[in-house]
Amino acid sequence: MKFASGDKIVLIGDSITDCGRSHPYGDGGFHAFGNGYVSVVAALLQSTYPELNLRIVNMGSSGHNVRDLKARWERDVLDLNPDWLSIMIGINDVWRQFDQPSMTETHVLIEEYEAELEQLIARTKPTVKGLILMTPFYIEPNANDAMRNTMDAYGAVVKKLAEKYDALFVDVQEAFNKVLEHVYPASLGWDRVHPGLHGHAVIARAFLKAVDYDFNKGL
C-alpha cells in the first residue's frame, strides 16, 4: 500500500472527478466526494484501511481543462498541502476540438497540454510524497476513431510525464479497453465520456491497483 497513516490525498480533474462533489472543497463525510470514482476510492480505502485514517479530498471541476487547472492550482492544490496528488485531465482539452470545431479558442492542442501539465507537475512534485497521473479516456473501442485516436495521444503524454517525474501511472483508457471487449460503449457512458457507476468503478479499480490496494485485505 503506497499511502501511509494520516496521508491527505487530493484528486483533481474535470467532471469525471467532480461528479457533484461539495464545493469549494470535496472534503468530509456524506456526499462531499460526489458520486463518481473518487467516492468509490474513498469508500474502499477508508473501509479497508481504517487504521490509516486517510483523508480524501475531491477537487474536480466540471468542464475544466489544463488551462483551468493552472488558474486554480494555488488554491485547489498547493494551499491544501496534500501528501499525495492525483491528476486526471485532458478530456475537455480533446473534446472541444470535436464538439466545438469552429471555436478554436476552446481547443487545447497537444503541445500546450504537455507544456502546461508538465509545469504543474514540476511545480508540485517537491511538495508532495507522491504523484498519481491518470490518462484521459474515451469510451470507444475503435482506436482509429478520430477522437479516440487523439485522446490516446494525450494519454501518451501523461505516460511520458509519469516516467519523467517518477509518478504512479494509471492507464484509464486501457482499463476501459478491457471492459469494452465485452460490452457496448453506451452501456458504460451514454456520450462515451461520462460513465455510470460501473464505469466509475473501472476507474477506481485502476487507481487502487496503482497504489497497491489489497483487494483481499480483511477477507
As a whole number of angstroms, the distance between CA 189 and CA 134 comes to: 18
Q: Which of 7, 15, 61, 76 is catalytic?
A: 15
Residue 63 dihedral angles phi and psi, to the nearest 5°? 85, -5
Residues 6+ apart with CB under 8 A from 83: 3, 4, 6, 7, 8, 9, 128, 129, 130
Active site residue 15: yes
Tell me which residue has cell 492525483: 86
Q: Which of 62, 83, 107, 194 is catalytic?
A: 194
Single-letter code of the amino acid located at 159: K
Q: Are 48 and 94 in contact (CB under 8 A)?
A: no
Residue 56's SS3 state is strand
Q: Which of 23, 31, 99, 191 is catalytic?
A: 191
Supply 8's cell numbers: 491527505
Active site residue 18: no
Active site residue 107: no
Supply 56's cell numbers: 480524501
Count helices and strands in the chain by DSSP H and E runs: 8, 6
Residue 51 dihedral angles phi and psi, to the nearest 5°? -65, -20
Burial (CB count within 10 angstroms: exposed 0-12, middle 13-18, buried 19+), residue 146? exposed
State the catalytic residues.
15, 191, 194
